[in-house]
Amino acid sequence: MRGRLPNPPFGDRIPAPILSRKGRFGRRPPFAVAIVAALAAGCTPPQDDRAIEFRVPVFVREVGTGAVEDRIVATGTLRAPETVALRADTAGELLIGRSPEGRRLAEGDRVHSGQTIAEITGEEVRLAARTEATTQRYDAAQRDYESKKRLFDEGLLSEQEFRQVTTALTEARVERDQSRLTESRSKLTTPIAGVLLRLGRDEQGRPLADGQLIKQGFEVAQIAPLGNLVADVDLVGPDVARVHEGLPARVRHEAGDAETFEGRVVRLAPTIDAVTRTLRAEVAVANPDGRLRPGMFVEVTMVAERREGVPVVPREALVERGGRKVVFVLRGQQVDRREVVAGLGDDDVVEIRQGLAAGERIVVRGLETLTDGTRVQVSGS
């Protein structure tokens, strides 16, 4: 018979020190805990009791002086200030005029006042003028008048008969002058000096050869002076009240090197357009070299006011905080928020009428999070 082991002194329970959270292996030895603590202490970096100071990086610029303008910018189309159209008074054959060198005139040629641009020839012109017949009739009436006048002076002709002769002479003179005028109008001469804009083209724009038969009223040529041009611009809204005659202006065309030409507002329309609700303004611009051409689309900048030698800041340096215009002025290693009164300006610079003086340094970039007294780090100027 097998014997049974005696019960342990504590019954079925193992003493608590042996049943630790480490399981059946029991507690860690004290020396192991010391080693782990030492390793942990070696891996932890030493703490610095000093506070880390953060500074906002900013770019600054010195307040300078310059010129600012109140500008009204609009677009317009260039045209000649005046245009002359030469039309045929009678039907006939077209004959384009010649230059002093004997060359047939062409579009783009410069012509002087009184120069013959074209001539209408042919039987139609001769019949319309009837110059020969009316001249003969006038000569006969002149001889009859002189003969009857002698008789009237001698008392051999009544006053009524003499009045009839006088009336006949007058009518003959009118017919003759009318014939001469019709004949002279067959030669189309320009009353102004300028440039030939259009010459001898039909309704489809095709050039006509000499001898081409044309109808009465046919437009033979257009002449216009191009030394000065006019830009027609339409003003809207508040700009209508800001523009007046005499304002200086600048005209700019994108073609070529986009050169700017000086101009001036010379005329405002007397009424507002009922459809577009715009006011038409005419801006005259000098064109001595002919680089501008009628029909060009241009940008017109009218200067309502200009101030020179005033403190100016970049547009991006001026911000609005709490409904007020402010800038941030550099003072040592921090910035002061300062309220200012802005004046004239454009997309690049703004005039400061109060609150800043030339020479002070202000923040122009990095000011989105700035407040009064913020410490900053100047990254560039």
Average pLDDT (115-136) is 78
Tokens 């191009």 belong to 226
47-61, 159-173, 255-269: lowest mean pLDDT where? 47-61
Evaluate if residue 200 carries a pLDDT over 70: yes
Q: Given strand 187-189, what is the order of strands in its sheet?
A: 187-189, 116-121, 92-96, 213-214
pLDDT of residue 155: 86
pLDDT higher than threshold 90 for residue 246: yes
Token pair 């303004």 in the structure block, residue:
281
Asked if pLDDT for residue 258 goes beyond 60, the answer is yes
295 torsion bin: left (phi>0), alpha (psi -120 to 50), beta (else): left
Q: Specify the 3-state DSSP secondary structure of 281.
A: strand
Tell me: pLDDT of 8 over 50.
no
126/130 Cα distance (integer angstroms): 6
pLDDT band at 380 (very low <50, low <70, confident <90, very high): confident
Q: What percent of the chain has pLDDT over 90?
A: 45
Give the pLDDT mean for 239-252: 92
pTM here? 0.63
**Range 281-309 average pLDDT:** 92
Note whether 182 and 128 are within 8 A (CB). yes
The two three-digit tokens of residue 260, written as one number: 């700017």
Query: What would the pLDDT profile of 338-355 be if each residue is shown by its tens digit?
Result: 999 998 888 888 999 998
- Residue 124's pLDDT band, with cuts at 50, 70 and 90, is low
pLDDT at 125: 65
Share of the chain above pLDDT 70, in %: 83
Of the pLDDT bands very low, low, confident and very high (cuts 50, 70, 90), residue 127 is: low
Which residue intervals of the chain are DSSP H helices?
30-43, 123-129, 131-153, 159-185, 239-242
Nearest by Cα to 79 from 240, 279, 297, 253: 297
Evaluate if residue 304 carries a pLDDT over 50.
Answer: yes
Look at the alpha carbons of 147, 148, 153, 156 in this order and tell me if their dihedral is positive or negative: positive
Backbone phi, then psi, for 201, in 5-degree steps? Answer: -120, 145
Residue 28 has pLDDT above 70, yes or no: no
Instruction: Report whether pLDDT(41) > 90.
Output: no
pLDDT at residue 11 in the model: 44
Confidence class for position 15, pLDDT limits 50, 70, 90: very low
